[in-house]
Amino acid sequence: MSQGRAALELSSNAVTVLERRYLKRDETGVVTETSEDLFWRVAKHVAQVDAAYDPSADVSATAELFNRPMANLEFLPNSPTLMNAGRSLGQLSACFVLPIDDSMESIFESVKNAALIHQSGGGTGFSFSRLRPKGDVVKSTGGIASGPISFMEVFDAATEAIKQGGARRGANMAVIRVDHPDVMDFITSKMDGHTLNNFNISVGLTAEFMEALKRDATYALVNPRSGEVVKRLRASAVMHKIAEMAWKNGDPGVIFLDRLNEANPTPQIGEIESTNPCGEQPLLPFESCNLGSIDLSGMVVDGQFDYEHLGEIVDCAVHFLDNIIDCNRYPLPQIRDMTLGNRKIGLGVMGFADMLIRMGTPYDSEQAVSMAEEVMCFVQERAKQASAQLAEQRGVFPNFRGSTYDADGGRKMRNATVTTLAPTGSISIIAGTSSGIEPIFALVYRRHVLDGDSLLEVNAIFEEVARREGFYSQELMKKVAEAGSVQQMDEVPLEMRRVFVTAHDIAPEWHIRVQAAFQKYTDNAVSKTINFPHDASRQDVENAYLMAYDAKCKGLTVYRDGSRAAQVLTTGIASTERPRGTRVPRARPTVTQGVTEKITVGCGQSIYVTINEDQNGLIEVFATMGKSGGCMASQSEAIGRLISLGLRSGIGIDGIIKQLEGIRCPAPAWQEGNIILSCADAIGKAMHRYVSDNGTDMVSSFTGDMVARNLLGMCPECPDCGTMVEFIEGCLRCPSCGYSQCG
Give the model confidence (pLDDT) of 364-379 as tens digits: 999 999 999 999 999 9
Task: Report the distance separating Cα 94 and Cα 644, nearest Å.
Answer: 47
Who's near 339: CB < 8 A, 6+ residues apart?
Answer: 93, 287, 288, 289, 325, 328, 330
The percent of residues above 70 in pLDDT, for the chain, comes to 88
Average pLDDT over residues 69-90: 96
Q: How far is CA 278 from CA 83, 243, 503, 556, in A?
A: 20, 19, 18, 10
721 tagged catalytic: no
Checking if the pLDDT of 100 tops 90, the result is yes
User: Is residue 85 located within the same domain as residue 145?
Assistant: no
CB burial readout 618-645, b (16+ within 10 A) else e: bbbbbbebbbeebbbbebbeebbebbbe
- Condensed to tens digits (0 to 9), the pLDDT of residues 254-297 reads 999 999 999 999 999 999 999 999 999 999 999 999 999 999 99
Q: Give yes or no for a contact between 266 and 338, defined as CB atoms under 8 angstroms apart.
A: no
Of 593-602, 607-616, 669-678, give the lowest mean pLDDT range: 669-678
State the pLDDT confidence band at 576, using cuts at 50, 70 and 90: very low
The yes-or-no answer on residue 280 being catalytic is yes
Verify whether residue 276 is a known catalytic residue. yes
pLDDT band at 733 (very low <50, low <70, confident <90, very high): confident
Is residue 627's pLDDT more than 60? no
Does the pLDDT at position 601 exceed 50?
A: yes
What is the pLDDT, as a whole number, of residue 300?
97
User: Within a domain: residue 35?
Assistant: no
Domain boundary among 430, 453, 482: 430
Question: Is 255 within the bounds of a domain?
Answer: yes
Measured between alpha carbons, how far is 440 from 487 in angstroms, rounded to an integer? Answer: 14
Give the number of other CB atoms < 10 A from CB of residue 406.
Answer: 17
**Residues 6 or more apart from 414 whose CB is under 8 A from it?**
322, 343, 387, 388, 390, 391, 394, 395, 396, 397
User: Quick one: average pLDDT of 79-96?
Assistant: 94
Say how many domains are in the chain: 4
Q: For residue 454, what pLDDT band results from cuts at 50, 70 and 90?
A: low
Looking at the structure, do residues 521 and 669 belong to the same domain, yes or no?
no
Which DSSP symbol is given to 385?
Answer: H
Q: Quick check: is 474 in a domain?
A: yes
558 shares its domain with 600: no
- 3-class SS at 103? coil
- What pLDDT shows up at residue 616? 67
- Is residue 534 located within the same domain as residue 602? no
pLDDT bin (cut points 50, 70, 90) of residue 205 is very high
Of 3-12, 201-210, 513-522, 527-536, which range is least confident?
3-12
Asked if residue 253 and residue 216 are part of one domain, the reply reads yes
- Please determine, for residue 430, whether its predicted confidence score (pLDDT) is greater than 80: yes
Nearest to 319 by CA among 636, 633, 69: 69
100 and 87 part of one domain = no
Q: What whole-number distance in Å separates Cα of residue 439 and Cα of residue 511?
A: 8
Residue in 676, 684, 682, 675 with CA at minimum distance from that of residue 704: 684
* pLDDT, position 452: 52
Q: Give the residue with greater pLDDT, 594 vs 132.
A: 132
Q: What is the pLDDT of residue 534?
A: 86
- CATH code assigned at 408: 3.20.70.20
Give me the mean pLDDT over the 500-509 stretch.
Answer: 94
Same domain, 101 and 85: no
Answer with the residue of higher pLDDT: 639 or 515.
Answer: 515
Beta carbons of 436 and 293 less than 8 angstroms apart: yes
Residues 448, 64: Cα–Cα separation, whole Å: 38
Contact yes or no for 588/616 (Cβ under 8 A): no
Annotated active-site residue in 264, 276, 415, 459: 276
| The pLDDT value given to residue 111 | 96
Catalytic residue among 280, 312, 457, 542: 280
In a domain, 715, yes or no: no
Domain that holds residue 598: 587-709
134 lies in the same domain as 238? yes
Q: Tell me whether residue 408 is in a domain.
A: yes
**158 in the same domain as 106:** yes
Is residue 168 very low, low, confident or very high in pLDDT (cuts 50, 70, 90)? low
Query: SS3 for 566?
Result: helix
Residue 234's pLDDT is what?
98
**260 and 359 share a domain?**
no
Q: Please state the separation of Cα 92 from the chain's center in Å.
A: 19
* Residue 666, in any domain of the structure: yes
The answer, yes or no, to whether residue 575 has pLDDT greater than 50, is: no
The pLDDT score that the predictor gives to residue 743 is: 61
6: in domain: no
In whole angstroms, give the CA distance from residue 149 to residue 333. 28
| Digit-coded pLDDT (tens) for 677-710 | 888 888 988 888 887 776 554 433 323 333 332 3
Q: What percent of the chain has pLDDT over 90?
A: 63
Q: For position 447, what pLDDT does the model report?
A: 64
Per mean pLDDT, which range of 10-19, 384-393, 703-712, 723-732 is the poorest? 703-712
Average pLDDT over residues 627-651: 76
The residue out of 275, 307, 329 marking a domain boundary is 275
Paired with 418 in beta bridges are none
When pLDDT is cut at 50, 70 and 90, the band that residue 351 belongs to is very high
Among residues 224, 246, 275, the one where a domain terminates is: 275
Residues 111 and 260 in one domain: yes
Same domain, 471 and 614: no
Tens-place pLDDT, residues 27-59 = 999 999 999 999 999 999 999 999 999 999 999
Distance between CA atoms of residues 743 and 728, nearest Å: 13
Across-strand partners of 557? 529
- Which one has a higher pLDDT value, 408 or 47? 47
Kindly name the residue from 95, 278, 603, 665 that is annotated as catalytic. Answer: 278
Q: Is residue 5 in a domain?
A: no
Average pLDDT, the chain: 87
Res 7 pLDDT > 60:
no
